[in-house]
Structure 1
C-alpha cells in the first residue's frame, strides 16, 4: 500500500477547541489514554499542524477566544 495524504478541514473554532484538547491529551500520560503507540505519531502531527496554523494560541486573550469558540460549537450541536 502506498501512503497518500489525507486532508481534514476544520473551522477555526473546531481547530482551536481540538488543539486545546490535544494539548491536554499530550500533557497527560498519553499511554493511559491511547493504548496503541502507533496512534501517537498522528496525534503529534495533527497537534503540530494546528499549533502552526493558529496564532490565537499565543494571543493574550486566548482563554476568552477558546471559550467563545466552545460556545459557538455547542450552539451548533
Structure 2
C-alpha cells in the first residue's frame, strides 16, 4: 500500500513520484522492469489519487530520465536515481 498525505503541502503527484523513486533506488523495481500500471497504482493508493495524478508522477520520473514508456507494454525503469548527500 502506498501512503500519501492529502493534507501535506507537497502535491500528491510529487509524493507519489518520491515513493516510486525510492522503490527504484532500493531495487523494489529494478532497472529493466515495468512500473506498476496506472490501474495498479490507483489500487495501491487506495483510490486516493486519479490516473491523471499518477500520470503526472510518471512524467516527473521520465523527466529525470529514470523511466521510459514502451508503446503497448507499459513504463519501464531505465536508470537508477542519482545518489544524494542526505
Instruction: Calculate the TM-score normalised by the size of structure 2.
Output: 0.32
Q: Relative contact order, CA 8 A, sep 6+: which one is greater?
A: 1
**Greater strand fraction, Structure 1 or Structure 2:** 2
